Amino acid sequence: MSETWLEPRVRLRDNPIGIAQARRRLRRRQALPTLAIVLLLSLSAAFYGSLTGEWLGVRSSLLVLFGILLFLGGVTQVATTVSEDRRSRLLDFHRATPTTPFTDALGYAIGSVAREYAACGAVLPFAIGATLLAGQSLLALGVGLLDIVICGWLYHAFAMNLALSSDRKRIPQSAGVIVALLYLVVFPLSRAGAGVLAHLTPIPTLAVLGVVAGGEDLTGFTFYGAPLSPLVFSFFAKGYLIAFLFWSAARKLRREGAHAFTRHGALAFFAITEFVWLGPVWSQLGAPARVALGGAVFAAIALTLACVLGASLVPQYLEYARCARRAARRASAPHWSEEGASAWPLIPAFALLVWLGTAAVVALPSASPGPAAALLSFEALLMTASSVAVIAFAIGAVEFLRLGMRGAAKSGTFFVGFVTLVLPWIAGSIVLASSLEPGVAYYVFACSPVFAGGGSIGLWAGALALDPVDPLRAHHVVLSCAVTAALATWFLLRGAALRRAIRSESPAP
């Protein structure tokens, strides 16, 4: 019986990385200044409350301090620790130890934030006192703090994945900036139909519990038309993301350069994300205008996520070469679900999931002009074709560049992305500013796959709302779809030629 077999899947109490990181972060000389600053801020808030009697405001301020410590300080610290250990090759040592990648991921996520957790512990008595003096429920405060901690786990898992995926030294600062931007865009996007994004923050939970204002906006919350507590949905929405992100981090901790998900895992993540996102807005999409807006937002987000996930599953040159050698020894072609295999079979899978999600939006009995017309109209068929073309372009271009350019794939991807996704918009804007005929500029915009995807979604949403979008005339979008399909076909054919060349170099079985 081997020692590896006896190793638990996740070590909780005796996690070696967690213990080592916690000891490092809680050294007296480094931790005391942070704790002193937090205590002084808490005492200042308590002094303000004693003078004014506004204990609810004091509690809100202390909760903001909780968020700053866990969301900004914790995220930056996790990303910094993982980045430093990755650059110093310490992660290679951890890969050689008997502990599992899940144990290592948990150790980094918890141990690296030990100082921030200690600082939150110093704030906790003041938050409890302010709650009692305000005559509010301690149970509500406890549930709200639990949601804040869970949000912290979500952001820390995200920061860990970011640090494991990039070699840039500014990743720690970037992780904190991304989390801060979430709070700037979440509410405008929520008003536009992406309401689930608000539940990636603790604000809806705190509002329902009465800890902060705004709970009346969540009255009558439903999930696919069925009444559901916003607390349950919020915990579920964050919980499945935490599970997938920790799984992704464990895969990257197990092997440098590993993909975030397996092929099946990426499809499952995409399907669950669609299911979770659509549930809260299902009962709100009654009028044609709201169905059109919700469908457009959903289709745009789903198409973008499909392109990102599909491109992330494209193998590097060495990955595909190893996969081809394994297949040669088996005397068979690489299976589509095998890591290192070509990603082109994922194109119809992701396109189908995008279509199914969009179909669910318009499958409401009250939707106008009806599900059949919304899915079989010219605009709907054009959007479906554009989605397939855009996903095929993203996967085909990345695969061609990774197999053909090898070490220069990142530079090639940046160049192709700029030429196809950015340059047409710059050139079209110049034409639009200097020409009296906007149609000329739209022909330039049509050279970008972004116009094919976004324009087809706009046409479909306009037809669904019985209010067509005039500037986006159909022939511009058809042209853009044709250009995108041509680019995708060229990249896929060139990628197929590269794959044949690589297989021909593989040893015979």
| Amino acid, res. 274 | E
- 20 vs 94: CA distance, rounded Å: 12
Tokens found for residue 375 = 């899915």
How far is 316 from 335, CA to CA, in rounded Å? Answer: 16
Region 42-48: mean pLDDT is 92
Phi-psi region of 327 (alpha: psi -120 to 50; beta: other; left: phi over 0): alpha
Q: Which two tokens stand for residue 378?
A: 């010219």
- Report which residue type is found at 251: R
CA distance 489 to 497: 12
Q: What are phi and psi of 137, to 5 degrees?
A: -80, 130
Report pLDDT digits (tens) over 318-339. Answer: 888 888 888 888 777 777 888 8
Q: Give the separation between CA 33 and CA 41, rounded to whole angstroms.
A: 12
Indicate the SS3 state at residue 313: coil
Mean pLDDT of the chain: 83
pLDDT band at 284 (very low <50, low <70, confident <90, very high): low
CA distance 176 to 440: 42
Helices in 53-137 by DSSP H: which ranges? 55-67, 75-87, 90-96, 101-111, 114-133
Residue 407 gets which letter from DSSP?
Answer: G
Nearest-angstrom CA–CA distance, 465 and 459: 10
The answer to whether the CB of 250 falls within 8 A of the CB of 95 is no
Q: What is the Cα 386 distance to its own chain's centre?
A: 23
Which DSSP state fits 256? Answer: T
Look at the block and give the residue holding tokens 């499958």: 363
Q: What is the pTM of this model?
A: 0.86
Give the least confident one: 84-98, 100-114, 189-203.
189-203
Residue 3 confidence (pLDDT)? 45
How remote is the C-alpha of 124 from its chain's centroid? 31
> In the structure encoding, which two tokens stand for residue 338, read together?
């095998």
Number of Cβ within 10 Å of residue 264's Cβ equals: 9
The answer to whether the Cα torsion of 1, 262, 295, 374 is positive or negative is: negative
Q: Return the exposure string of 115-150: e unless at least 16 CB atoms fall within 10 Å of the residue's CB, then b.
A: bbbbbbebbeebbbbbbebbebeeebbebbbebbeb
Whether residue 116 contacts residue 67, with contact meaning beta carbons closer than 8 Å, is answered with: no
Q: Tens of pLDDT along 143-172?
A: 889 999 999 999 999 999 988 887 777 776
CB 199 within 8 A of CB 237: yes
Distance of CA 226 to the CA centre of its chain: 26
Length of the chain: 509
At 196-247, the pLDDT tens digits run 777 888 888 887 777 766 555 566 677 877 888 888 888 898 999 999 999 9
The confidence score (pLDDT) of residue 90 equals 85
pLDDT single digits (tens) 381-401: 888 899 999 999 999 999 999
pLDDT digits (tens, 9 = 90+) for 404-430: 887 787 888 889 889 998 998 898 888
CB 395 within 8 A of CB 314: yes
